[in-house]
Amino acid sequence: MTQQTLTIIKPDSVENHNTGKIIAHLENEGFRILAGRMVHLTEAQARAFYAVHKERPFYNDLVAYMTSGPVWPLALERKDAVTYLRQVMGATNPSDADAGTIRSLYGESIERNSIHGSDSPENAAIEISFFFAASELV
């Protein structure tokens, strides 16, 4: 089933000049880009985006990291996009990620792990609308 999901190319990837390589990797895996732009998240935006993690011990560090530089949110479309993106990304900790996955190739640490991907179709819809109006998905 064709599905939509949200990825964010995270600050470490932008800083390390990996944005283009990650977009090419996603396109090679069959994702179609519906919308995308570079943004520098405010603290309030990062806190809101990661509100589900607010009780986690790493929440403040995560917010600081995600606001440390610009990021690229992209709305993506593909068959089984949510599950497939999670496979292509690899495990949260790059040292546990399968060879060839984006986090294995480009991630630096469990925090600076190069890319975000929605974890369910429900969250994908919420996360896409966090960054893009429906009229911007083309």
**Does the protein bind ligand GDP through residue 18 (CB under 6 A)?**
no
Residue nearer to ligand GDP on the CB measure, 77 or 119: 119
- CB 135 to ligand GDP: min, Å: 28
- Among 19, 119, 123, 137, the residue binding ligand GDP under the rule CB under 6 A is 119
> 7: Cβ–Cβ under 8 A, 6 or more apart, which residues?
26, 73, 74, 76, 85, 89, 115, 116, 117, 118
How far is 82 from 7, CA to CA, in rounded Å?
A: 10
Report residue 104 as tokens.
């294995």
- Among 24, 27, 42, 61, the residue binding ligand GDP under the rule CB under 6 A is 61
> 41: Cβ–Cβ under 8 A, 6 or more apart, which residues?
49, 66, 67, 71
Examine the residue annotation and report whether 25 is marked as an active-site residue of this protein. Answer: no
How far is 47 from 50, CA to CA, in rounded Å?
A: 5
Residue nearer to ligand GDP on the CB measure, 58 or 130: 58
**Does the protein bind ligand GDP through residue 120 (CB under 6 A)?**
no
**Does the protein bind ligand GDP through residue 58 (CB under 6 A)?**
yes
Instruction: Give kind and range of the element (H or E) at residue 94.
Output: none
**Does the protein bind ligand GDP through residue 104 (CB under 6 A)?**
no
Q: Is 131 exposed, middle or buried (0-12, 13-18, 19+ CB in 10 A)?
A: buried
- Among 92, 95, 120, 129, the residue binding ligand GDP under the rule CB under 6 A is 92
Active site residues: 116
Contacting positions for ligand GDP (CB under 6 A) = 58, 61-62, 92, 110-111, 113, 116, 119
